[in-house]
């Protein structure tokens, strides 16, 4: 997969994309990131890419043409139109399901806005989707773009050691992940749950699945409304409800 990023801050993007797991994946060719400085696509002698908004008001607006020229350059380089995403607080909020869908695409281009945003006409002309990383406003689209790059790239083949690394994680199939523990076995009088030391894989898996259900019920009950219960889930969920009831009785 190749992700092109149109930005005013190439170094900021490169510094994150060269680090850690994603940096390694990039070096090993499992995922390709190409950062483009939007200023390279302006004819302005001062390399300006913004101007005042029509209709008045505070702030500046990024001009359509440098972004469009950057898009044309990417199209030429990859030999086709990429799936173009404008990072925007007005977009669809990024979810794990969206990351999975994007990780299956060959070419994605991200546009990072700044100031008051970008001229609406370039969004109409080239953007396939607007994506937000949450209902709050940042100063620029770079951090959102990097969040998207990280969450999508880790799903690409070869980036993590296997699919099981992410398939059991929170949000992959509608539940949160079970709690994790590592050495030492006892820490500040808190012991690792006995079942995890038993070596009994069936019991461990069942315990973990029950933890996933109960954590989701406690932390994100909204997610359970969308979740498709298996037979085992229903059995475990009934146990959780029973345990909740008896805990309530004890506390009364």
| Chain positions contacting ligand SAM, by CB under 6 A | 87-90, 112-114, 116-117, 132-134, 136-141, 144
* Of residues 22 and 148, the one with the C-beta less far from ligand SAM: 148
Tell me how far, at minimum, the Cβ of 84 lies from ligand SAM, in Å.
Answer: 13
Which of 135, 164 has the CB closer to ligand SAM?
135
Q: At what angle do helices 96-103 and 142-153 cross, to 10 degrees?
A: 70
| Burial annotation 58-83 (CB, 10 A radius, 16+ → b, else e) | eeebbbbebbbbbbeebbeebeeebb
Question: How many residues are given for the chain?
Answer: 252
For residues 35 and 7, is the Cβ–Cβ distance under 8 A? yes
By beta-carbon proximity to ligand SAM, the closer residue of 71 and 237 is: 71
CA–CA distance, 252 with 238 (Å, rounded to integer):
21
By beta carbon distance, the residue nearest ligand SAM is: 113
User: Cβ–Cβ contacts within 10 Å for residue 180, how many?
Assistant: 7
CB of 154 to ligand SAM, least distance (A): 19
Q: How far is the CB of 130 from ligand SAM (least distance, A)?
A: 8
Rounded CA-CA distance 41/43 in Å is 7
With respect to ligand SAM, which residue has the nearer C-beta, 116 or 177?
116
Tell me how far, at minimum, the Cβ of 134 lies from ligand SAM, in Å.
5
The nearest distance, CB 132 to ligand SAM, in angstroms, is 4
Q: Which lies closer to ligand SAM via its Cβ, residue 132 or residue 211?
A: 132
User: Minimal distance in Å, beta carbon 133 to ligand SAM?
Assistant: 4
Please identify, using beta-carbon distances, which residue of 139 and 161 lies nearer to ligand SAM: 139
Q: Which residues contact 156 (CB under 8 A, 6 or more apart)?
A: 1, 25, 30, 31, 103
């Amino acid at each position: 997969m190749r992700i092109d990023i149109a930005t005013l801050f190439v170094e900021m993007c490169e510094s994150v994309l060269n680090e850690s797991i994603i940096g390694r994946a990039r070096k090993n060719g499992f995922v390709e990131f190409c950062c483009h400085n939007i200023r390279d696509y302006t004819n302005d002698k001062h390399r300006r890419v913004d101007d005042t908004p029509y209709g008045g008001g505070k702030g500046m607006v990024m001009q359509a043409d440098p972004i469009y020229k950057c898009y044309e350059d990417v199209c030429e380089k990859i030999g086709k139109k990429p799936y173009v995403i404008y990072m925007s607080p007005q977009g669809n909020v990024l979810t794990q399901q969206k990351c999975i869908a994007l990780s299956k695409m060959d070419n994605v281009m991200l546009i990072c806005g700044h100031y008051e945003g970008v001229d609406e006409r370039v969004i109409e002309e080239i953007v396939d989707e607007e994506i937000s990383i949450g209902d709050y406003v940042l100063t620029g689209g770079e951090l959102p773009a990097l969040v998207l790059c990280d969450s999508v790239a880790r799903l690409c083949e070869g980036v993590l050691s296997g699919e099981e690394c992410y398939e059991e994680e929170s949000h992959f199939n509608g539940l949160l992940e079970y709690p994790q523990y590592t050495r030492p076995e006892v820490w500040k009088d808190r012991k690792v749950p006995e079942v995890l030391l038993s070596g009994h894989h069936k019991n461990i898996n069942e315990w973990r699945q029950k933890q996933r259900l109960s954590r989701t019920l406690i932390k994100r009950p909204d997610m359970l409304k969308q979740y498709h219960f298996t037979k085992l889930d229903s059995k475990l969920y009934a146990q959780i409800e029973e345990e909740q009831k008896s805990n309530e009785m004890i506390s009364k």
